[in-house]
C-alpha cells in the first residue's frame, strides 16, 4: 500500500507540473487587452471549523502573486472583460502543526460595479493545487487533525475594492477565504479554512494581440453535443486503516453550448468500494449489488478560451445501501480542451459539502 500511495503522489506531482505548464502556455495564446500583475500581502487566521481542530487556531501571513490577462470576447457583463491567468502563493501558518504551504492555480477575475473611472470592484476565484509541509503523521505530527497529505486541492474566493493611482498602477483591499483539502484522498481530511484580509498592488500593461481562436464565441447559435466521460479517483476512509479505495466513474449525457456557457444533463454509474469496506476486515468480492451506484445530474460550465469551470448538482438514483452518503451530491471542477472533441477534466465530488472523491479523467464529445 505504501508503494501504491508513493506512486499516486508522484502522479499528482507530475500532474501539478503539467498543469502549471499549460497555465503558462495559456498566458501567451490569448487576446487583445490588458495584462495585470498583482502583488498581495495577506493576513488571516486558521478557522477551526471542527472540534478536533480547536487547538490548531493560529494567525498566518501570506505573499501572493497573480498574472492576469483580459480574455477577448469573454465578458461578465457589458463592457467588463473577464481576466484569467496564474496564481502563486506562499503561506506561513505560525503553527508547528502545519508550518508552511504553497499554492499554484488558475485565477479568474470577474469585474463587478465600476463606481467611477478611478474606483473598481472584482470578484476573484482561484482553483488549483496546494502543498502543506507538515501533514498529519501518526508518529511525527499526530495533532494535525486537519489534513493528511502534502499535496492537496486549493481554492480561494475573494471580493476586491480598489482605486487607480495612475494609468498603470492601482491599489486594492480584499476580503476572502482560502481552502486546502485533499478531496478525501488521505485521512484525515477536515480541511484548512483561512479567512483573510489583504492589500494588493497592481501594475497594468496594455497591448494588442488578436486571438482568432475565440471568433466562434460571437455566434449566438446553440451547439448541441453528446458526450461520454471516464474518470477515476482514490480515497481514504480512516487514519487507522491505510487502505486506498479506487473509485471509477462512467458518465454520458447531452450539452447545449451557447457562447461562453454550457448547460448539461447526464447520467452516471460509480464503482465505489466504500459499501464493502469494514475497518481492518477483508473486503467482500465486488458485485453489481454491493459496489455500483447510479446518479443523474444537471451541470453548468463557464468557458474561458480552452478552459472551463464546471459545476454539477446530482441525485443518487440507486446505491447498495443507505446511510453512507446523502441523497444528493455536488461536483466542482475545471476542464481543459485538448482537441476539438477531447477534454481533460478534474472534479471534486462532495456530499453535503463533505468531500467524497476527486475524479480525474477525460471527456469525449461529438
- Residue with the bigger pLDDT between 28 and 313: it is 313
pLDDT at 114: 67
* pLDDT, tens digit (0-9, with 9 covering 90-100), for 65-119: 999 988 765 655 555 678 899 999 999 999 999 999 999 999 999 888 766 778 8
Give the three-state DSSP class for 55: helix
**pLDDT band at residue 209 under the 50/70/90 scheme:** low
Neighbours of 90 (CB within 10 A): 14
- pLDDT confidence of residue 78: 54
Are 209 and 30 a contacting pair, CB within 8 Å? yes
Walk me through the domains of the chain, giving residue ranges and CATH numbers: 28-207 (2.40.160.20), 219-365 (2.40.160.20)
Region 284-299: what's the mean pLDDT? Answer: 91
pLDDT bucket at 26, cuts 50 / 70 / 90: very low
Reply yes or no on whether the pLDDT at 205 is more than 80: yes
Taking the CA atoms of 342, 235, 91 and 158 in sequence, report the sign of the dihedral they define: positive
What is the phi/psi pair of residue 144, to 5°?
Answer: -80, 95
Task: Note the pLDDT of residue 4.
Answer: 52
Q: Which of 101, 84, 43, 39 is nearest to 64 (CA)?
A: 39
Instruction: Give, as one character, the DSSP assignment of residue 22.
Output: H
Amino acid at each position: 500500500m505504501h508503494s501504491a500511495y508513493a506512486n499516486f503522489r508522484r502522479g499528482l506531482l507530475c500532474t501539478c507540473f503539467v498543469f502549471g505548464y499549460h497555465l503558462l502556455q495559456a498566458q501567451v495564446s490569448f487576446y487583445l487587452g490588458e495584462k495585470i500583475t498583482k502583488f498581495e500581502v495577506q493576513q488571516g487566521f486558521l478557522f477551526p471549523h471542527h472540534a478536533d481542530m480547536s487547538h490548531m487556531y493560529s494567525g498566518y501571513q501570506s505573499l501572493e502573486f497573480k498574472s492576469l490577462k483580459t480574455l477577448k470576447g469573454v465578458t461578465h457583463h457589458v463592457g467588463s472583460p473577464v481576466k484569467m491567468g496564474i496564481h502563486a502563493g506562499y503561506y506561513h501558518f505560525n503553527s508547528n502543526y502545519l508550518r508552511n504551504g504553497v499554492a499554484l492555480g488558475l485565477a479568474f477575475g470577474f469585474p463587478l460595479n465600476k463606481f467611477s473611472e478611478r474606483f473598481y470592484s472584482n470578484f476573484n476565484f482561484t482553483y488549483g493545487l496546494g502543498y502543506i509541509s507538515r501533514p498529519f503523521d501518526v508518529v511525527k505530527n499526530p495533532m494535525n487533525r486537519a489534513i493528511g497529505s502534502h499535496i492537496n486541492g486549493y481554492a480561494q474566493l475573494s471580493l476586491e475594492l480598489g482605486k487607480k493611482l495612475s494609468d498603470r498602477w492601482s491599489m486594492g483591499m480584499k476580503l476572502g477565504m482560502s481552502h486546502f483539502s485533499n478531496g478525501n484522498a488521505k485521512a484525515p481530511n477536515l480541511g484548512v479554512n483561512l479567512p483573510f484580509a489583504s492589500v494588493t498592488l497592481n501594475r497594468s500593461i496594455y497591448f494588442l494581440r488578436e486571438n482568432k481562436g475565440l471568433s466562434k464565441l460571437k455566434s449566438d447559435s446553440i451547439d448541441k453535443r453528446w458526450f461520454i466521460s471516464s474518470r477515476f479517483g482514490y480515497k481514504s476512509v480512516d487514519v487507522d486503516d491505510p487502505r486506498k479505495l479506487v473509485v471509477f466513474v462512467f458518465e454520458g449525457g447531452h450539452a447545449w453550448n451557447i457562447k461562453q456557457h454550457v448547460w448539461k444533463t447526464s447520467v452516471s454509474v460509480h464503482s465505489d468500494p466504500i459499501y464493502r469496506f469494514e475497518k481492518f476486515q477483508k473486503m467482500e468480492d465486488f458485485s453489481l449489488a454491493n459496489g455500483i451506484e447510479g446518479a443523474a445530474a444537471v451541470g453548468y460550465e463557464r468557458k474561458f478560451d480552452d478552459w472551463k469551470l464546471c459545476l454539477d448538482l446530482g441525485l443518487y438514483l440507486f446505491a447498495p445501501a443507505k446511510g453512507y452518503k446523502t441523497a444528493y451530491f455536488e461536483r466542482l471542477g475545471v476542464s481543459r480542451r485538448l482537441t476539438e472533441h477531447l477534454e481533460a477534466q478534474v472534479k471534486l465530488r462532495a456530499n453535503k459539502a463533505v468531500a467524497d472523491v476527486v475524479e480525474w479523467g477525460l471527456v469525449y464529445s461529438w
